[in-house]
Amino acid sequence: MIKIYHNKLCSKSCAVLDLLKSKDVDLSIREYLQDVPSKDELLELVTLLQLKPLELIRRNESIFQEKFKNLVLSDEEWISVMLEYPILIERPIVVKDGKAVIGRPIDKVITLISEG
């Protein structure tokens, strides 16, 4: 099973979803703006991605620039920020067999789904 955390308004996310659909894989689509991941899910994602929570945040988003740009927060506080403002979560995130990648560039997804 491959899971994609997807934003249908994002061209990169749509391109990755199209790729996954073309591969005829067992696919679970999570539109995370409507179905926001839980705190535990976000913690699991940062672990699978081997990132700090701040590294999973889209820093060019206007909401980040307006509210968080100059703040120094703990990892737990950044998780709370993503829960409150899921638009800040990097996208798309693809998870397969206990591994995860952010789907930019798309080659990362191709490598992930090609692995045994």
Residues serving a catalytic function are: 10
Q: Give me the residue label for tokens 């990892």.
A: 75
CA 61 to chain centre: 14
d(CA 2, CA 99): 10
Amino acid at 89: I
Record the tokens describing residue 37, joined without a space. Answer: 């991941």
Is 2 within 8 Å of 20 (Cβ atoms)? Answer: yes
Contact of 63 with 87, CB cutoff 8 Å:
yes
Q: Which two tokens stand for residue 15?
A: 């391109």
